[in-house]
Amino acid sequence: MAEQPIILKGAEEIRFEGNEVGILISHGFTGTNQSMRPLAEAYAKEGYTVCAPRLKGHGTTPEDMETTSYEDWIESVEDGYHWLKNRCDMIFVVGLSMGGTLALHIAKKFPDIKGVIPINAAIKIPAMEGTVAMEERFIDAIGSDIKNPEVEELAYERTPVRSVNQLLTLMTQVEEGMSDIHCPILIFVSDEDHVVPPHNSEMIFDSVFSEHKEIVHLENSYHVATLDHDQDLIIERSLEFFEMYAKTMG
């Protein structure tokens, strides 16, 4: 058996046992649960059961990430879904960046999902498409795109080119299946994002077949909005969303 890589402090899986409403949370590409912890803790404080898996190959080393595929990342999130399913009557799913992409996958695959909240979710990143042809094994980091100068994201300092290819495949698959998403959706988008073009969120809004859909513009945050100036707004609006749809569909 290969040695298990050491998990970075702050990158660990997050689980809180609470009531019968489960919240599944996914961090983003090359990122960690450090970016999602404020949300996870706020949801748990309100009594929800929360699971934020550590995506395979994340929160360890870029070399470890390089050996994983988009199927591994899907499996990580699906494992979290099943953990919640064993404990809860209903599940919502929240994700940042590629985590938002994975959240959309979960909403498509499991029709029992009560609602989905993508935050700066990725469907098309033209700047990445040229990366795949590169000779290099690693490219510069994409993490820590945060407007607040006092906050730093725990993310890899370089990005495996092979992993970018996996992300592109995942985005294509999820984009093709968005018309199968019918659950309520609350989309958060930063007006200024240096990683995922904000237009992605408009595409998601236009493509899902949800009867209840809303887009909320974040005017004071960059890509990692969950750690940025609009963090409280995201928490407040997402808690309202859970309360509303947990009631109406309970």
Q: Would you name the residues annotated as active-site residues?
A: 97, 193, 223
Label residue 183 exposed, middle or buried (CB < 10 Å: 0-12, 13-18, 19+): buried
Please name which of 29, 25, 24 lies closest in space to residue 57, comparing C-alpha atoms.
Answer: 29
Judge whether 186 and 236 are in contact, CB under 8 Å.
Answer: no
H helices within the chain, ranges in order? 37-45, 62-66, 70-85, 98-109, 126-129, 161-176, 199-207, 231-249
Judge whether 156 and 56 are in contact, CB under 8 Å.
Answer: no
The residue type found at 216 is V
- Is the CA virtual torsion 109, 113, 115, 117 positive or negative? negative
Angle made by CA atoms 145, 16, 7, in degrees to the nearest 5: 55
Calpha distance 113→84 (Å, rounded): 11
